[in-house]
RNA sequence: AGGGACGUAGCUCAGCGGAUAGAGCGGUGGCCUUCGGAGCCAAGGGUCGGGGGUUCAAAUCCCUCCGUUCCUACCA
């Protein structure tokens, strides 16, 4: 039941100037101190009707015939306000949630015309250094957007691309070759991708006193592309170290890919494509043999597609990969989750592909930079927040909190709760920000469990569970819905009603933070309810009604958190 | 220098054309004889960066200035 739409249809009988769809778009939620659920601002009608908005609102109030699901229609100034009947709403939404359970809000692919096939690529790491906080944000956004889209009946394919070749890779290889003494990660007992990263930082340190190193790295790249065996062996070894380390981190973050692509596998096909499209117009070969896409007519900087020495660039393989993904998945839409520092790059890539006659729907899901209190992260200098490190930190903090509260919990249970609560804190802290905006990462806030945090929401879930555990009463929908009349109960019910709408918006606009905001709001309302309404009581009918209400809240919290990649706990 | 993004409470952020601009943190004052205090309630705190414009209505759209930042690599 979509009440907003119903109200729009109702209004449309008396508003012929605009379509019912336009009416629906105008309907809004009134400020919270006004005791109504929906509101229609009548301003746009005042010109055509040549009457004051106040008068029009009053006229409409009188003309409208109140359907049974509306308890009150009232003009307040230039707004016509509607209140949904609490009994009708409670009955409808609680029944719906309870019956559908964890499928509440889920759109079945049978119910839409055509489910879309969507490929989403993230986090596409470079194999020369370990994952850092930026990758964490990337992964969290990628996962939650995938979950959200999947929940509204799209078919999602999560893929990863490893940028495992190129000048940056050669830099860490060169440093290792020169100063690594053939050591192995296990010799120093460090995680293998961190071991590789050390040499990338070392390269950049040494570069300060020896500018020739850049040239040496380029020579090495050249050798790599010419299949020099020694270079390839070194590369393979170091890449395996990096990949192994990533796999461990991905595992901790619960990421799984339908497909993994490697730049080293596909760059040649990219070169082939580029070499066949040189037309001296859009694609030009310049004196030193570099191939350049001329994009000035499209208000974009020109883009080099192939270096003068014939070696490939990031875009070289991306051109082929776009086509390859189409072959592999026959997608309707292709999403790239990549930071906003590459906004121009993706405009260039998409334009080049368009010029090549490749016209698929491609989206750069661009997200903002993560800053540290001391400024920007600099991976070349090793000034980053390491991904493994931060995961470990939130885990330990959660563990400390749990041990503070329980003395006799077994090790396994402590481990499980610490992992789930720690991840909730970190994930929620990062996802609650609008993806497109930069934000500053404060370590102590990311591991906070109070206020607007993941654990706060988990806590609500656990509290509800605790109440449910205390009663023998069967929860069902056979209750007296009119008993749910406390202010906090009514607010909670309306919150629950909003879930599918929020879910859809979060998914379609690729904005998981909308779900975060919603869950916080829902949780706050539940907590307010919790302190002012006793669930377990001798009034059995009231108890039954409230049990259903909190059970439904619990269901929605679980669905919402799971979509964000956060697990729930029955006991914290 | 050109192009993009962002400037909202002391701090971190929501809100992005509609009624008196919200939340968390911090600070202040309350709530421990009721279901888990990782909680709740109250008061306080704002010329929504400055200035112009469009509109019945602007934090929200447009222009301009200031500030921060990203891009403009044969880097990624």
- A547 with A475: CB under 8 angstroms? yes
Q: Can you tell me the mean pLDDT for A300-322?
A: 94
Question: Nearest Cα to A220, choosing from A234, A209, A241, A202?
Answer: A234
Provide the CB-side half-sphere exposure for A60 (13 A, CA): 34
Q: Which residue is nearest to nucleotide B72 (CA to C1')?
A: A301
Q: Is the pLDDT of residue A132 over 70?
A: yes
Compare A453 and A376 and report the one with higher pLDDT.
Answer: A453
Q: Between A411-431 and A133-151, two packed helices, what is the crossing angle to 10 degrees?
A: 90
**Mean pLDDT along residues A38-51:** 88
Q: What is the dihedral of CA A216, A219, A221, A224, to 10 degrees?
A: -120
Element (H, E) at A155: strand A155-162
**DSSP β-ladder status, A155-162 and A259-262:** parallel
Residue nearest to nucleotide B6 (CA to C1'): A437
Find out whether A321 and A261 touch, Cβ atoms under 8 Å: yes
DSSP state at residue A126: B
Write down the residue that tokens 């896409």 correspond to: A293
Q: Please, which residues have CB within 8 angstroms of residue A378's CB and are 6 or more apart in sequence? A: A384
Return the minimum-mean-pLDDT range out of A61-70, A439-448, A475-484: A439-448
Measured distance CA(A436)–CA(A235) in Å, rounded: 35
Q: Is the CB of A440 under 7 A from strand B?
A: yes
**pLDDT (tens digit per residue) in A341-350:** 999 999 999 9
Task: Count Cβ atoms within 10 A of the Cβ of residue A414 and give its class: 0-12 exposed, 13-18 middle, 19 or more buried.
Answer: middle
Residue A382 has pLDDT above 70, yes or no: no
Query: What pLDDT band is residue A309 in, cutting at 50, 70 and 90?
Result: confident
Give the per-residue pLDDT at A211. Answer: 85
Evaluate whether A33 touches A47 at the Cβ level (below 8 Å): no
Asked whether A43 and A52 are in contact (CB, 8 A), the reply is no
For helices A411-431 and A512-532, give the axis angle rounded to 10 degrees: 120
Given a cut of 90, whether residue A271 has pLDDT beyond it is yes
- pLDDT value at position A195? 96
| Whole-number pLDDT of residue A29 | 92
User: Can you give the pLDDT at residue A374?
Assistant: 74
Give mean pLDDT, residues A63-67.
92
Q: Is residue A498 very low, low, confident or very high in pLDDT (cuts 50, 70, 90)?
A: very high
What's phi and psi for A519, nearest 5 deg?
Answer: -65, -35
User: What are the pLDDT digits (tens) for A195-233?
Assistant: 999 999 999 889 888 888 999 999 999 999 899 999 999
Bases of strand B lying below 7 A from some protein CB: 3-6, 12-16, 18-20, 22-26, 34-41, 56-57, 69-76
Mean pLDDT of chain A: 93
> Average pLDDT of A533-547?
94
A341 touches strand B (CB under 7 A): yes
pLDDT tens for residues A390-400? 999 999 999 99
The count of other CB atoms within 10 Å of the CB of residue A124 is 20
Residues 101-140 of chain A within 7 A of strand B, judged by CB, are 126
Question: Where in A220-347 does DSSP place strands (E)?
Answer: 259-262, 283-285, 291-293, 303-306, 333-339
At A112, the pLDDT band (50, 70, 90 cuts) reads confident
pLDDT-based confidence at A113, cuts 50/70/90?
confident
Is strand B in 7 Å reach of the CB of A571?
A: yes
> Which structure tokens are listed for A67?
């359907």
Tokens of A351: 């334009």
Q: What is the pLDDT of residue A482?
A: 94
Asked if pLDDT for residue A356 goes beyond 90, the answer is: yes
Which residues 44-73 in chain A have a CB closer than 7 A to strand B?
44, 47, 53
What is the β-pairing status of strands A303-306 and A291-293? antiparallel
A53 has a pLDDT exceeding 80: yes
Band of pLDDT at residue A269, cut at 50, 70 and 90 = very high
Question: What residue ranges in A427-527 does DSSP mark as E strands?
Answer: 439-440
Q: What was the ipTM of the complex prediction?
A: 0.96
For residue A83, pLDDT beyond 90 = yes
Average pLDDT, integer, range A157-179: 94
């Amino acid at each position: 039941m979509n009440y907003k739409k119903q109200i729009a249809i109702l209004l449309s009988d008396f508003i012929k100037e605009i379509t019912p769809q336009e009416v629906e778009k105008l309907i809004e939620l009134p400020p919270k101190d006004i005791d109504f659920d929906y509101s229609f601002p009548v301003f746009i009608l005042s010109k055509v009707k040549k009457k004051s908005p106040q008068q029009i609102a009053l006229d409409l109030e009188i003309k409208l015939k109140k359907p049974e699901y509306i308890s009150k229609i009232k003009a307040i100034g230039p707004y016509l306000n509607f209140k949904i009947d609490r009994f009708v709403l409670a009955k409808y939404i609680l029944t719906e949630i309870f019956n559908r359970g964890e499928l509440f809000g889920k759109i079945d692919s049978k119910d839409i015309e055509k489910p879309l096939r969507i490929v989403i690529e993230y986090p596409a790491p470079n194999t020369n250094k370990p994952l850092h906080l930026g990758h964490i944000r990337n992964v969290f956004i990628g996962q939650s957007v995938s979950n959200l889209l999947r929940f509204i009946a799209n078919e999602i394919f999560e893929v990863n691309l490893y940028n495992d070749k190129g000048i940056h890779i050669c830099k860490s290889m060169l440093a290792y070759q020169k100063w690594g003494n053939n050591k192995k990660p296990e010799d120093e007992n460090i995680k293998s991708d961190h071991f590789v990263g050390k040499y990338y930082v070392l390269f950049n340190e040494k570069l300060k006193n020896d500018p020739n190193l850049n040239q040496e790295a380029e020579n090495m790249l050249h050798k790599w592309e010419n299949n020099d065996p020694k270079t390839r062996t070194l590369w393979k070894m170091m890449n395996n170290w990096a990949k192994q380390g990533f796999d461990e981190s991905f595992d901790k973050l619960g990421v799984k890919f339908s497909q993994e692509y490697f730049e080293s596998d596909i760059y040649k096909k990219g070169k082939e494509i580029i070499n066949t499209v040189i037309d001296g117009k859009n694609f030009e070969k310049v004196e030193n043999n570099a191939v350049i896409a001329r994009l000035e007519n499209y208000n974009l900087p020109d883009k080099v597609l192939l270096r003068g020495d014939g070696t490939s660039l990031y875009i070289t393989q991306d051109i082929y990969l776009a086509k390859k993904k189409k072959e592999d998945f026959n997608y309707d839409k292709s999403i790239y989750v990549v930071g906003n520092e590459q906004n121009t790059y993706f405009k260039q890539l998409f334009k080049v592909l368009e010029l090549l006659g490749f016209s698929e729907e491609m989206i750069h899901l661009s997200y903002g930079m993560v800053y540290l209190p001391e400024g920007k992260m600099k991976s070349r200098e090793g000034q980053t927040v390491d991904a493994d490190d931060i995961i470990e930190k939130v885990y330990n903090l959660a563990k400390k909190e749990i041990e503070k509260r329980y003395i006799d919990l077994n090790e396994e249970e402590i481990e499980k709760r610490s992992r789930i609560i720690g991840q909730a804190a970190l994930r929620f802290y990062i996802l609650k920000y609008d993806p497109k905006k930069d934000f500053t990462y404060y370590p102590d806030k990311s591991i906070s469990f109070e206020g607007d945090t993941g654990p706060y929401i988990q806590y609500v879930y656990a509290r509800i569970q605790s109440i449910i555990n205390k009663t023998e009463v069967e929860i069902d929908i056979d209750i007296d819905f009119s008993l749910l009349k406390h202010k906090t109960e009514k607010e909670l019910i309306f919150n629950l009603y909003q879930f599918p709408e929020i879910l859809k918006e979060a998914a379609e606009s690729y904005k998981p933070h909308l779900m975060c905001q919603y869950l916080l709001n829902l949780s706050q309302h539940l907590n307010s309810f919790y302190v002012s309404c006793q669930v377990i009581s001798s009034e059995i009918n009231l108890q039954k009604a409230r049990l259903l209400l909190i059970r439904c809240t619990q269901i929605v919290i679980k669905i919402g958190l799971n979509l964000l990649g956060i697990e729930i706990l029955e006991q914290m």
